[in-house]
Structure 1
Amino acid sequence: MKRVLPAVLGFALVAPAWGQTVDNRGAKQLSDNLSRYVGKQVLSGGILKVSAVGDAYKITFDLKAIAAGLPKQDPPKFDFPPYTLLVKPRGDGGWDVSSDFSTSGSIQIDGPNGQTSARIVIKDGKFTGVYDPELAAFTKGDSSIAGMTMTSRMPRQVTELGIGSSTSKFGASKSANGGVDLKVTRAIADLVETVKIDDRAVGAIKASDLVVDVTAKAIRTRPFLDLLAFAVAHEDEARLKADQAELKALLLAALPLWDQLAGTYSFKNVAFDTYAGNWGAAQLSTAFAADGVAQNGKLDYAIKASGLTFPEVIPGWIAAILPTELDLKFGGSNIDLDSMARKTIETFDLGKNPPLPAGFRDQIKNDFMANTPKFIVGRSVFRNGGTEIAMEGEMTFPGQKPDATMTIDVAGYDKIVAALQTAAKTEPEAAQYFPFALAVKGFAKTLPDGRMEWVINAKPDGSVVVNGAMLKPADPAVDDSGGGGAKLNP
């Protein structure tokens, strides 16, 4: 709720506040502005109200009024106090925004399979920010809570989420490429989530700290608002069909959605409690970066962990070779979403059923693959004591079949073999892997620094070559000339 409502607020404040006098007339103007984005029924039904209070406007969201407008048969039961925001005109055309979003409430739904409910408590929730109508974004803002708990109950399952103190900072500025550059940072302490089924604990996730950093370059905030206003104004199907040319223009104006979206999630002292035992990491982080809807877009992910621990149920010989540190990088390039999006927008016709012609999905899939999208594994490293395994490579799909190259190099491979040899004396499973480890070593190339390297090439014809030696020949070629059977490649 606290994430969605400030965004809804932005829809109400699209009009600049140049020297605006706070009075009932101004409250009516704000209500009219808001109705363009949420619908007049929300205002007439009492879900949202705008009133003048001193030198600011109070915007009130009443969740109980939502329930009142739902069908009378088995309606959900809302027990939340109203959520309020204070917005005050600034002399520069922007708005000062503040809120105390502390709350304690619940929702309950009675269904054919039993009762489902959720309860949320937010302690000392504070929000302040400055909203710029020209950017359709907050130029700066802060929020904090002293703590939060949320409990959801289903007939057999109970999930409990709790966090300690949390702070957020966010801001926006005009982008040189159009749109808005955004930055959001959030810090959370003492994150705990537990799951019980039939009163038995089945899993838990814990972390002492979580820090989230997200940035967006040239995000198209204004076209997003225009699309929302169009959707609210075209709830009638006949009007939507009649104005689909306007819809297409608005969709095209929103492309590429953003130039780039990137973020990191960094955890400390992470623990995963499961039926299979407890897993953990002293440090765990994930990072992502994604281009918008582009002709040659890129997508990158990274996962880093250190101080990894594993369940005691894992055999000791396996635990000895599992990584205690990892740095995994992967992603893609040559991702043409722009042509796909534009062709879809150009082709769809809401007056037809279905809106897209037969075979269209296969057509855009073929077009997408024709741009030769590439799956990439960046140099990724797995470490455990004196051993280190590194890999990198890429894969494309010419003719819808994979063409891959992967390079793997290992420091301390002899230690891995020795551990397997020792374990093979008492562990049948280790005895099965030991001959395989020796065979793999036979394909290796020894590098000047002593590391062992394997360069693996997998071709679309099914052949696999390791360090220049044929590991697997090409698949038999299928004779589709009608003669039946298959024939080998010459």
Structure 2
Amino acid sequence: MRFKLIAATSTIAIALASGACGAEINQAGAKQVEESLTKLLPRSVAKDRVVTVNPAGTRYEIIYDLAKLLKKLDPGSLTITGLTPWSMFATPLDTGLWSVEGNNSLNVSGSFKAPGQPKADFTYAIDAFVVSGMFDPAISYFRSGDFSTKAVNFSSKSEAEELNAGFDGMKYKVASSEGAAAGTTNFATSGSATGFIERIKSGEVPPVEIRADAFDFAAAVNGLPANKVRDIILFVIDHADEKKLAASDSNKLKAMLRDAFPLLTSFNETIGLNNLTVSSAAGSGGAKNVGYEVTLDGPTDATRFGIGVTAEQISFASPVVPAAYSAFLPRELQLKFAIADMDFAAFGDEFLKVDFTGGAASEDSGKKAAERLFKGGELVMDFPKISAVSSVYDAEVSGKIRGRIDSSKDYSMDATVLARDLDKTIAAVQELAKTNADLNQVSFGLMMAKGFAKTDPDGRQRWDISVAKNGSVTINGQVIKGAD
């Protein structure tokens, strides 16, 4: 049932995919568009007329009755009131694109109960959701568009937890261009939101409030075979009511996936928060700027998946942290790491051996596909930069770890550690050791490390560390530990 709901909901995103009508707007054309759209719904949903189309002057009005869609859920798990139909207006253009406009709002309330969880009451409101863009029925997606929302608010309350969240408004854009390879498209989106706030109350945890003056986001996917992806989505929707695929349909799906591979050439997403604050009875803190980034790029036989997190002008105040230790809290943080050298070409070859009819071999084929993703079973973790800065330390680590997906012992590492003003760090630890004798060991360790260090031209201490698969360890060329 959940899969059917997802498939039906996906149809909303492609619900304008019809080139059946010409420039003349009339009832016959509306019926033709509606019949075309109905074909995109699972058979169990289509009969309820979730989508209807009417002529409206020089354009068509397409109405989505989401309440009918939600009726397919178990009424014992979800109840909802106030869900009124949404409408979009589509005008066919001579270029083959559609000019699409919409202005809707939402104000619903209800309850939801997941298996094994207490019932939760919720409300969800959007003052306005405005759409204006150019839709391409050939790919069932927007070539370009401007979207905005006003005053979005959500609340949820159960016996265990209460959540309230919202933001003042959001604006974002979608743009597209032709991909480098024939038949592919590049998509990009960017936008911002203001006045974000979230409050969380839980039975055993003090209330927490999270705020951000604004957050910006951007994402781009390149080399997407949009037409082929559309056909795969339609195929899945058309077979959503089937418990399992017939052998002929399984082979057809494999052929479609094989023809669409690779599904993209690169992907990246960035999110930035401005003036983030977190407050609770246990303390408060925040950062002037917080950034998050995800990237996926490289050739299909050597793909790299990376994640980056940064925080600037960090502040933290809590009775949990003694004042003497406050200097050791970081003011700046940066973390970048990646899984490198993944072979998605081999993964795709093995994945397409999966039995989509639901046969016993499906699980085994899936495991083999995952194993081939990492060449020879080797996992490569790359750390371009991990750094932290406070008033008493400035440290940075970079390196690479090679291991195996089937073992936690067989690994090697090459890393570089850099530290500025190490004497200041040692002095700060020694001062704390006057009231906490356990820190004498830390102080002693730092002084030993200083003895192995090299000095870079910029004055920082450097340690080049190598751990071999045989267990041997070297620091700046000196053997610290022999092979096991």
TM-score by length of 2: 0.89
Instruction: Report which stretch shifted further, 150-159 or 40-49.
Output: 40-49
> Which stretch of the first structure deviates more once superposed, 308-317 or 83-92?
308-317
Change (3 A) 1:7 1:128: farther
1:187 aligns with 2:196: no
Q: Deviations over 1:54-102 (max 9, x none)?
A: 2222222223223444456566234311111111111211111111122
Which residue does 2:160 correspond to in 1? 156
| 2:287 is aligned with 1:281 | yes
- 1:232 to 2:237 alignment: yes
* Partner of residue 224, structure 2: 219
Shift of the 229–349 alpha-carbon distance from structure 1 to 2, 3 Å rule, reads: closer
For residue 449 of structure 1, report the CA deviation from its aligned partner.
3.4
Is 1:306 paired with 2:312? yes
Alignment partner, residue 169 of structure 1: 173
Match of 2:388 among 382, 387, 401: 382
Cα offset, 1:276, TM superposition: 4.2
Q: CA RMSD in A?
A: 2.8
Percent identity between matched residues is 23
1:42 match: 45
- 1:437-476 pair list within 5 angstroms: 437-475=446-484
Map 1:339-354 → 2, pairs under 5 A: 339-348=346-355, 350=357, 352-354=359-361
- Residue number in structure 2 paired with 1:315: 322
Are residues 164 and 336 of structure 1, via their aligned partners in 2, closer, same or farther at CA, if it must alter by over 3 Å?
Answer: same
SS of the counterpart of 1:408? strand
Partner in structure 2 of residue 414 of structure 1 = 423
| Residue 267 of structure 2, aligned match among 261, 266, 281 | 261
1:279 and 1:309 in contact (8 A); partners too? yes
Is it true that 1:327 corresponds to 2:334 in the alignment? yes
1:244 to 243, 250, 253: 250
CA contact (8 A) 1:421 1:434 kept: yes
C-alpha distance in 2 between matches for 1:167 and 1:82: 23
Output the CA distance in 2 between the equivalents of 1:79 and 1:429. 62
Q: Secondary structure at the match of 2:263?
A: coil
- Displacement of 1:137 after TM fit? 2.5
Are the equivalent residues in 1 in contact too, given 2:354–2:361 (CA < 8 A)? no
SS of the aligned residue for 1:310 comes to strand
Aligned to 2:4: none
**Deviation at residue 380 of structure 1 after TM alignment:** 3.7
Where 1:243 maps in the other structure, the secondary structure is helix
Q: Which moved more, 1:109-118 or 1:30-39?
A: 109-118
* Distance apart, 1:11 and its partner CA: 2.1
CA positional deviation for 1:394 = 1.0
1:124 to partner: Cα distance = 2.7
Q: Aligned partners of 1:137, 1:356: CA distance in 2, in Å?
A: 33
Measure, in 2, the Cα distance between the counterparts of 1:452 and 1:347.
52
The partner residue of 2:111 within 94, 108, 112 is: 108
CA distance in 1, matches of 2:398, 2:70: 54
- Cα displacement string for residues 179-218 of structure 1 (whole angstroms, at most 9, x for unaligned residues): 2111111110011111112497432321111000111111
Q: What is the CA–CA distance in structure 1 between the aligned matches of 2:444 and 2:141, rounded to whole Å? A: 62
Instruction: Give distance in 2, aligned partners of 1:20 and 1:7.
Output: 27
Q: C-alpha separation between the residues in 1 aligned to 2:309 and 2:74?
A: 46
Q: What number of residue pairs does the alignment pair up?
A: 472
Opposite residue 461 of structure 1, the aligned amino acid is N
TM-superposition CA deviations, 1:286-321 (whole Å, max 9, x none): 122113882111122222221011233323343313
1:304 and 1:114 map into 2 onto residues whose CA distance is 37
SS of the residue 1:26 aligns to: helix
Q: Name stretches of at least 5 consecutive residues in structure 2 with no aligned partner.
A: 1-6
Q: CA–CA distance in 2 between the matches of 1:461 and 1:230?
A: 51
SS at match of 1:209: strand
Aligned counterparts of 1:298 and 1:367: Cα–Cα separation in 2? 12
Please report how far the alpha carbon of residue 224 of structure 1 lies from its aligned counterpart in structure 2 after TM superposition: 2.0
- 1:487 aligns with none
Q: Is the 8 A contact 1:317 1:420 kept in 2?
A: no
- TM-score normalised by the chain length of structure 1: 0.88
Distance 2:332 2:95 in 1: 51
Q: How far, CA to CA, are the matches of 2:422 and 2:111 in structure 1? A: 58
Letter in 2 for 1:207: A
CA distance in structure 2 between the partners assigned to 1:225 and 1:289 by the alignment: 24
